[in-house]
Amino acid sequence: MRIDVLTLFPEMFTGVLGTSILKRAAEPIANPADPDDVRGPVVSYHVHDIRRHTTNKHGKVDQPPYGGGPGLVMQCQPVYDAVLAAEAEDPTPARRVLMTPQGTPLTQPIVERLAGEKRLLIIAGHYEGIDERVIEALEPEEVSVGDYVLSGGELPAMVLIDTVVRLLPGVLGDSQSAAHDSFSPGAQRLLDHPHYTRPAEWRGRAAPEVLLSGDHARIAAWRAEQARRRTRERRPDLLDGREST
**Active-site amino acid positions:** 101, 128, 166, 181
- The window from 18-26, 146-154, 171-179, 237-245 that contacts ligand ADE (CB under 6 A) reads 146-154
State in angstroms the smallest separation of the CB of 138 from ligand ADE.
16
Residue 23 parent element (H or E): helix 20-25
C-beta closer to ligand ADE: residue 85 or 150:
150
- The window from 72-80, 129-137, 138-146, 221-229 that contacts ligand ADE (CB under 6 A) reads 138-146
State in angstroms the smallest separation of the CB of 106 from ligand ADE.
8
- Is 149 a binder of ligand ADE (CB under 6 A)? yes
- Is 12 a binder of ligand ADE (CB under 6 A)? no
Q: SS3 for 12? A: helix
Residue 48 parent element (H or E): strand 44-49
- CA 163, CA 111: separation in Å to the nearest integer? 6
- Is 200 a binder of ligand ADE (CB under 6 A)? no
| Identity of residue 86 | A
Q: SS3 for 153? A: coil
185 secondary structure, DSSP code: G
C-beta closer to ligand ADE: residue 1 or 130:
130
| Stretch 103-132 residues interacting with ligand ADE (CB under 6 A) | 127
- Yes or no: say if 157 and 50 are a contact pair by the CB < 8 Å rule: no
C-beta closer to ligand ADE: residue 105 or 186:
105
- Is 140 a binder of ligand ADE (CB under 6 A)? no
Interface with ligand ADE (CB under 6 A), residue from 26, 42, 76, 150: 150
How many residues bind to ligand ADE according to rule CB under 6 A? 12
Residue 201 parent element (H or E): strand 201-202
Interface with ligand ADE (CB under 6 A), residue from 15, 146, 170, 185: 146
State in angstroms the smallest separation of the CB of 128 from ligand ADE.
9
| Identity of residue 127 | Y
Produce one character per residue of 58-82: b if its CB has 16 or more CB atoms within 10 Å, e if not.
eeebbeeeeeeeeeebbbbebbbbb
The candidate with the shortest Cα–Cα distance to 185, out of 107, 109, 81, 71, is: 109
Interface with ligand ADE (CB under 6 A), residue from 156, 193, 227, 228: 156
Taking the CA of residue 225 as centre, how many other CA atoms within 13 Å lie in the half-sphere pointing to its CB? 7
- CA 163, CA 197: separation in Å to the nearest integer? 25
Provide the binding-site residues for ligand ADE, judged by CB under 6 A.
Answer: 99-101, 127, 144-146, 148-150, 153, 156
